[in-house]
Amino acid sequence: MQIDYPYSINNSGRTSETNEEDHIRDMIEQILFTSPGERVNRPTFGCGLLKLIFEPNSDVLAGSTQSIVQGSLQQWLGDLILVEAVSVSANESTLEVQVQYVIRKNQQRKVEQFQKRI
């Protein structure tokens, strides 16, 4: 078992735990919505996705955003997952990210949606 994200206490007063698949999803979410420099001991952790949403929307921005996200996921989780596709869109005040990946350990394909209100 792994520590659940976001951190919480369960009904028995202990740290909440989660299974390995949910833990991988939690780690992806942390990478997506953490800006480089935000973590003291890991200054390059994250992908800076939230900063990119204030840029003018264009095909070039979409392509570079996809590249940045995919590169960050491969850098930090490349030993756990194989990223197959990333889709990023901003709708009004919500940033939506879809990540398609394969869990290397069991070859299970997953498609996860992530949202962040800005």
Domain count, the chain: 1
Spatial separation of the C-alpha atoms in residues 37 and 105, rounded to whole Å: 30
Give the structural domain span for 56.
2-117
Whole-number pLDDT of residue 88: 81
Q: What does the alpha-carbon distance between residue 87 and residue 62 come to, in Å, rounded to a whole number?
A: 9
Average pLDDT by stretches of 10, the chain with 118 residues: 85 91 93 91 89 68 80 94 88 81 96 84
Residue 68 to residues 15, 62, 80, 113, 115: CA-CA distances in angstroms?
33, 10, 18, 17, 17
pLDDT at 87: 87
Q: What is the pLDDT of residue 61?
A: 67
CA angle 107, 113, 115 (to 5 degrees): 150
pLDDT of res. 53:
65
**Looking at residue 81, what is its pLDDT?**
96
The domain that contains 63 carries what CATH number?
Answer: 3.10.450.40
6: preceding bond cis by omega (within 30 degrees): yes
